[in-house]
Structure 1
Amino acid sequence: MPRKPRNHNPFSTLLLPVLLLGAGLGPAGAEAAPRRATYVDASSYLQDEVDFEAWFTLRRQLRLNFDAICGDTFCEGDYTNIQALRFVCSVQRLTGRVGECAWSFAASEESVDPARGRIGLDAPAWLCRSPLAPGTTIEALLDALQGEEPLYAALPGTALTLYDGLVDCL
């Protein structure tokens, strides 16, 4: 189901400076209180059902895309059972700009000590950061990565893909 463009309320843009002034964060208060961006998980930022569905569909499709290529690529080396854990993005609460997206992975290699019968474990984990262009919004990211193969879709403002980020990481 295609995502509908998000309707932005022009009054929220006009209201923000008034709220900041009222909170003492306007020109005079800006010197007294440092300006900090507040980031939240993408799932906490998204407001409407269409965006939620796009986000959870994206995460599901990424896992399916990774599972489909793992055996022929990343899972041929030392670890044959790499598992995609979670794709997560931080989003600036006021602007919708993505701070960073990362995808976590884990694997294991078990071994048996023939003399003692003990099982040993080597269990690495990776956090693969996505090669996003600065200023990317969560809406633009969701639009760019919808479909059945988001792993190979060009990220907004760049020719890179999430797959490119994995090659550098795994």
Structure 2
Amino acid sequence: MPTVPMPLRCLLAGTAVLLPLAATAAAPRYIDLADRVGPDDTPGDRQFHELNDWIIYEFNDICADFFCSGGYANYRLLRLSCVVDTRSDSIRHCRLPVAASRDQVDPGTGALRTDVRHWLCPVPLPRGLPVTAFLGALDWQPDSSGHLFNVLPGSGRSLFDALQDCLP
């Protein structure tokens, strides 16, 4: 039986100890809610993505009545952005990024100037809110006018309230 030289044995032993640590370190502590796969979910689960689509649809539907007037037009809610703490499967924080633009045509030259503004509207949530409680609160509710109007856990406010507080 061949003998393994001592330096090689030390290297192999060190690698055996460090590999499990490297695998543990590779798992991120914080992830985007859009990338989360919950304990009962399968990869590619659409719950968050469908919810996000509904929130954007509802924003576009009510924008003219509440937000899309004044100096800027063409408001777009980009998406619901949330950070998940993977150790506790809880929401760290969320925001609603919104962009709007204003176009001006120079009548003499035909030049087009576009001004773009954006807002990062914080979502009022308590620290450590479980992801399942957050998604459950935003799911369809029989007594609500839509996902934007559902009361968020721990704050008594809604995504609509957050947008009203934030947008001009």
Pick the TM interval, shorter chain: 0.7 to 0.9
How far does residue 121 in structure 1 lie from its aligned partner after superposition?
1.2
1:135 aligned onto 2:128: yes
TM-score scaled by structure 2?
0.74
Q: What corresponds to 1:68 in structure 2?
A: 61
Q: Which has the larger Rg?
A: 2
SS at match of 1:108: strand
1:38 equivalenced with 2:29 (yes/no): yes
Q: Aligned residue pairs: how many?
A: 136
Please point out which of 145, 164, 168 is paired with 2:165: 168
Equivalent position of 2:4 in the other structure: none
Match of 1:125 in 2: 118
**Amino acid of the residue matched to residue 72 of structure 2?**
Y
- Percent of aligned pairs with the same amino acid: 34
1:51: how far off? 9.5
Rounded to whole Å, the distance in 2 between the matches of 1:133 and 1:59 is 20
Q: How does 1:13-32 map to 2 (within 5 A)?
A: none
- SS of the aligned residue for 1:165 comes to helix
Q: Deviations over 1:39-61 (max 9, x none)?
A: 11112222314993321121011
**2 CA distance for matches of 1:51 and 1:133?**
28
**3-state SS of paired residue (1:166):** helix
Please list every run of 5 or more consecutive structure 2 residues that lacks an aligned counterpart in the other structure.
1-19, 22-27
Q: Name the structure where strand makes up a greater proportion of residues.
A: 2
In 2, are the aligned partners of 1:43 and 1:52 still within 8 Å (CA)? no
**How many angstroms apart in 1 are the aligned matches of 2:48 and 2:126?**
19
CA contact (8 A) 1:54 1:146 kept: no
